[in-house]
Chains A and B, each alone.
Chain A
Amino acid sequence: MWLFWLFRRRCIKVNTMHDMVLEVVNRLLLPFIQLFGMYILFHGHLSPGGGFSGGAVIGASLILYSLTFRFARIKHRIDHDTSVFFEAAGALIYVAVGFVGLFFGYNFLTNRGVFPLGVPGQLWSSGMILIITLALGAKVSGTILSLFQELLEGGSDERGNP
């Protein structure tokens, strides 16, 4: 099914910068890049990596996606408001998780005593670290994609082209 979707010819009528090689390579590589990024995010407290690394990998994959399908499909494109929303939501979740410890009478960002700690070495073994890592991943990937969109689409150049 995935291979069928991969090599199906989708003719785009209105295009200015449509590249066949870029689109096929994108369809080949994008699931694996995002799967690796989610692996880094979810194993941030067990193995090397964490919020910034996984968010950077996912952000690079989102840049590749928006570079390919920027002109092709209006329905599937990621606009600037969405990336800014993910960026702000990541920071907000981070602060909200920090205030949970403050609400129960501990310090800011307290982990032990507030969140349930599992067995060490397993995936659910870190309390709030996993939530914070996911929020950081959303923040970093949104920031990278927002930087790229701001640079490529914001304003007009010196010749007046948008």
Chain B
Amino acid sequence: MLQAINILLLVFLVVCAVVVARTKDLLSAVIIFGAYSMVMSIIWQQLHSPDIAITEAAIGAGATSLLFLAAISRTRRHEE
């Protein structure tokens, strides 16, 4: 059961990584990247590393998304 959940999380991670690279709308890409970081934090917790999980949830899903949003608000939204 637990292994099935882990495999599901890993598949979701790979799908998120591919979709982030292929999305043309940068705001959508930032939001998908936040979901990627959240799933990555759960995977760190499953790998018995709660320290990195806390840091990933705070930095990856919180601060990095806001920094990307600030960068988008200073530049263009759509990729050419």
- Looking at the assembled complex, report how far the CB atom of B4 sits from the nearest CB atom of chain A, in whole angstroms: 26
- Looking at the assembled complex, report how far the CB atom of A124 sits from the nearest CB atom of chain B, in whole angstroms: 22
Verify B67–A57 contact, CB threshold 8 A.
Answer: no
Contacts of A151 in B (CB 8 A): 67, 70-71, 74
Verify B66–A40 contact, CB threshold 8 A.
Answer: no
Bound Cα distance A144, B64 (Å): 10
Verify A52–B55 contact, CB threshold 8 A.
Answer: yes
- Looking at the assembled complex, report how far the CB atom of A14 sits from the nearest CB atom of chain B, in whole angstroms: 21
- Interface of B (DSSP majority class): helix
Partner of A50, one of B51, B62, B70, B71: B51
Contacts of A147 in B (CB 8 A): 63, 67
Q: A151-B71, A151-B74, A157-B74 known; A57 and B54 CB under 8 Å?
A: yes
Q: A151-B70, A151-B71, A152-B70 known; A60 and B54 CB under 8 Å?
A: no
- Taken residue by residue from 56 to 80, chain B's Cβ proximity to chain A (1 for < 8 Å, 0 otherwise) reads as 0011001100110011011100000
Q: Name which residue of chain B comes closest to A40, CB basis.
A: B54
Q: A49-B51, A49-B54, A151-B71 known; A56 and B66 CB under 8 Å?
A: no
Bound Cα distance A71, B51 (Å): 35
Of residues A50, A57, A67, which shows the largest number of chain B Cβ atoms within 10 Å of its Cβ? A57
How many chain B residues sit at the interface, stated as a range, is 10 to 19
Verify B55–A56 contact, CB threshold 8 A.
Answer: yes
Q: Which of B17-60 contact A (CB under 8 A)?
A: 50-51, 54-55, 58-59
Bound Cα distance A40, B55 (Å): 11
Q: Name which residue of chain B comes closest to A55, CB basis.
A: B58
Q: Which of A74-116 contact B (CB under 8 A)?
A: none
Bound Cα distance A60, B75 (Å): 23
Bound Cα distance A40, B74 (Å): 34
Verify A48–B54 contact, CB threshold 8 A.
Answer: yes
Contacts of A57 in B (CB 8 A): 54, 58
Verify A148–B66 contact, CB threshold 8 A.
Answer: yes
Give 20 A-B contacts (CB < 8 Å), ordered by A residue.
A48-B50, A49-B50, A49-B54, A53-B51, A53-B55, A53-B58, A56-B54, A56-B55, A56-B59, A57-B58, A60-B58, A60-B59, A60-B63, A60-B66, A144-B63, A147-B67, A148-B63, A152-B70, A152-B73, A158-B75
